[in-house]
Structure 1
Amino acid sequence: MKGMMRRKDREMQRDEALEFLRECHVGRLGTASPEGVPYVTPVNYVFFDEDIYFHCALSGHKLENIKENENVCFEVDELISIVEDENPCEISTKYKSVVAFGKASIVEDDEVRLEALKKLVDKYVSENNVSSKLTIDKMTKTRVVKIKPEIITGKASIK
């Protein structure tokens, strides 16, 4: 069942999963075409007010899929290390991951788009105050998509 963790011993607490989602830099967005063909693509994103926002071009596979089917899956992860062993069956990894299931929608409100894009710029650009240069009239070639998560689960193997 979606959202049920099989390995309870590796389940992250909700606040830990949300913090990890805030910290990661690349997420993987899973959508499906009208024919049911899965499409996964990496995106830069920002997580605030319990929602995930990413930017993209004005058209493309992601947007076409979202227009037809708002149900999406979003994933972030970090490979911490490889655990080597003489026995190949005991080789493992230390990792963290978060998966969110939710509904995606294209953000039409210019003020919300601007806020999301400014937060994206602040997250990825270290130059102070560069996001203040972003204005609504400069957003003509960029779409912003919002994912409203319904289920968020986190899993970690770090011991």
Structure 2
Amino acid sequence: MQFVGILQIRSYDKVKEFLNEEHVGRLSSIDENGFPQIIPMNFVFLNDAIYMHSHVKGEKLENISRNNKVGFEADRELEFLPSYFEDPHNASLADTLYISVVIKGMGVFVSDREEKTLALNGLMKKYQPEGQYDPIESDMRVLDAVSIIKVVPQTIHGKYKIGQHLNPKDRMELAKNILKKNSPTSKKTLKIMGFEETSDGLRMIDEPVW
């Protein structure tokens, strides 16, 4: 339990920052047979709620109409840590650095045109930050052609694993191994971990606390 506590994201600002950066989340609803249905969705986190747009018909809409208790999840794998980082023979030592947020809440269909406009413009701003479009207005017919699903959180739980559970020596050794492995994400992962590559080697310049 103590280890789990170390991995918990305690900063709400960090949760919001993470959700604003992620492009795909997963919405879970309960189908007519009582099974969870999980669907990847584009989303935006606005005013402490998740907004998603959808076709006006579909199984997930039927599920939420029947039972509005839903789940939502977004995650990012930062770096896979091969077992040989610690032992060339013991495969059980393989691990992953990651960030994740899990929300439990109520699914709501937004009918207010101003709120639908807010959600659609929020989605455009997130996914097309370069602009080059006319903002959506509340009197546009497109609002009638889409459903907006709003997830009102009851609980939000975030976890992150970036080496904070290790002592300084082991954390530095992990960072060196990540740099040596040179994966496509290694330098970004090291920055998130608080490391900087200098002419004298790796140096920890920050102690990220989420």
Structures share a fold, TM > 0.5? yes
- CA deviations 1:65-113 (Å, max 9, x no partner) are 0000110000000000110122210000010000000001100111110
* Structure 1 residues 132 and 7, CA gap change in structure 2 (3 angstroms): same
Q: Which residue of 2 aligns with 1:55?
A: 53
Structure 1 position 88 matched with structure 2 position 86: no
- 1:120 pairs with one of 119, 123, 132: 123
In the TM superposition, what are the counterparts of 1:19-58 in structure 2 within 5 Å?
Answer: 19-58=17-56
SS in 2 for 1:82: strand
Higher share in strand: 1
Compute the displacement of 1:129 (Å).
5.1
* AA in 1 matched with 2:52: F
After superposition, where does 1:1-159 map in structure 2 within 5 Å?
7-15=4-12, 16-85=14-83, 86=88, 87-128=90-131, 130-133=133-136, 136-159=140-163
Find the aligned partners of 1:118 and 1:142 in 2 and give their Cα distance. 13
Deviation at 1:19, TM superposition (A): 2.0
- Kindly indicate whether the alpha-carbon contact (under 8 Å) linking 1:45 and 1:53 is maintained by their aligned counterparts in 2: yes
Cα distance in 1, alignment partners of residues 58 and 46 from structure 2: 25
More relative contact order, 1 or 2 (CA 8 Å, 6+ apart): 1
- Count residues with an aligned counterpart: 156
Per-residue deviation, residues 31-67 of structure 1 (Å, max 9, x unmatched): 0013211100000000011011000000101100000
Give distance in 1, aligned partners of 2:110 and 2:75: 26
Q: CA deviation at 1:134?
A: 5.1
- Aligned-partner residue type, residue 16 of structure 2: L
CA RMSD of aligned residues (A): 1.9
Q: Percent identity?
A: 33
* SS of residue in 1 equivalent to 2:42: strand
Given that 1:5 and 1:153 are in contact with CA atoms closer than 8 Å, whether structure 2 keeps it comes out as no
Contact preservation (8 Å) 2:20, 2:126: no
Whether contact under 8 Å (1:74, 1:100) holds in the other structure is yes
- Three-state SS of the structure 1 residue aligned to 2:56 is coil
> Which structure 2 residue ranges, 5 or more long, are not aligned?
164-210
Of the two, which has the highest radius of gyration?
2
Counterpart Cα distance in 1 of 2:42 and 2:153: 17
Kindly indicate whether the alpha-carbon contact (under 8 Å) linking 1:28 and 1:74 is maintained by their aligned counterparts in 2: yes
Q: Structure 1 stretches (4+) deviating beyond 3 angstroms?
A: none
Q: Which amino acid aligns with 1:151?
A: T
Give distance in 1, aligned partners of 2:46 and 2:39.
Answer: 21
Distance in 2 (alpha carbons) for counterparts of 1:133 and 1:109: 14
Query: Where does the alignment leave 5 or more consecutive residues of structure 1 unmatched?
Result: none
